[in-house]
Amino acid sequence: MLLHREKALSDLELIDHYKASGEAFYAGVLFQRYTHLVWSVCAGYLKDEEESNDAVMEIFEHLTEALLKHEVSNFKDWLHVVTLNHCRMRLRREQRRRTTSHDPMELDEIFFVENDELEHLFNGEERETRIRRLQSALGKLENRQKRCIELFYLEGRSYKQISGLTGFTLNQIKSHIQNGKRNLKNWLTAWKD
């Protein structure tokens, strides 16, 4: 039986057959060997069965294209890295979607999530007033604090990405964000008085 013969091929032989023929069947046999590993990684990262299933399908679609472009010497390790990267990108996209879909009047929830006592500052206020106050407070931050807060909260960047963009160390980034949040809290609290 054809399938039995292909199942006996090594990962690299299946890749070679796939590249030579373009037949997705070979990639499918290869992927089937590791589907449980891919799903396990996705489930661990995404914490949702349906999202994990979607991610597995997306990774398989990516796999059929990527194998034609890349030289792969250890498929299992390569697939593990592809899966990790896919899950991280998916989480970043979701974080960015949630962050950028925030109405500016809800930005206070991002900045002051740990400060429940400030919630009453924004209840019942006009949307425009909230936006103006927050924009004004952001404008008062020193450039380093403002840049780190915008990159982290509004663009959904990681500390490592912010470091690459700004040249700040991870400790400096953490400090700029903490100090910036404290300054924002102080300015927004002062408006209440």
What pTM value is reported for the model?
0.50
**Is the per-residue pLDDT at 112 higher than 50?**
no
Assigned CATH topology for domain 103-192: Arc Repressor Mutant, subunit A (1.10.10)
Number of alpha helices (DSSP H) and beta strands (DSSP E) in the chain: 11, 0
Assigned CATH topology for domain 2-99: Rna Polymerase Sigma Factor; Chain: A (1.10.1740)
Look at residue 155 in the predicted model and tell me its pLDDT.
Answer: 66
Tens digits of residue pLDDT in 122-154: 444 444 566 567 777 788 889 999 888 878 776
Tens digits of residue pLDDT in 17-65: 999 998 888 888 998 999 999 999 999 888 888 888 889 999 998 888 8
Of all residues in the chain, the percent with pLDDT exceeding 90 is: 20
Domain ranges of the chain: 2-99, 103-192
